[in-house]
Amino acid sequence: MTDLRIRAASAADLDTVLAFWKVAAEGTSISDDRDGVERLVARDPEALILAEQGGELVGTVIAGFDGWRCHLYRLAVHPDRRRQGIGSALLAAAEERFVRLGGRRGDAMVLVRNESGQHAWRAAGYTPEEHWRRWVKHLTP
């Protein structure tokens, strides 16, 4: 993995990221569109972290920090590149970012049905907190 490059996404990467998520991410999000990802990168240019090998996108993670809490979203590794340390490298970059910003605890949203994702998060040292429940309200139709 010596040729793995970790970097922040730029506006030029957004279409590639959206296409990548259709192949590599589990489930979809209401924010999985050009406008949503564009707003993310404009608001926090270091939040969307990419992993590339040989110039090809092989992984992503969103490391969002609101000044109080550290949230992880869209940890995705190309199916053909899984179990090679890419996800671990992305999480390490996200966690380093959080510590640099003063974050104290990272949390991740993982679909209940995503068993391989749950395994990956456990392997990275994250644990589920069953006593919390996510409450959601869509703000747009």
> Angle, to 10 degrees, between the axis of helix 34-43 and the axis of helix 14-24?
120
Whole-model pTM: value is 0.91
Per-residue confidence (pLDDT) for residue 2, from 0 to 100: 67
Parts of the chain with a pLDDT under 70: 1-2
Instruction: Give dist(CA 73, CA 16) in Å, integer.
Output: 17
Other CB atoms closer than 10 Å to residue 53's CB: what's the count?
Answer: 17
pLDDT score, position 133: 81
Q: Which residues contact 34 (CB under 8 A, 6 or more apart)?
A: 14, 15, 18
Q: pLDDT digit string (tens) for 16-29?
A: 999 999 999 887 77
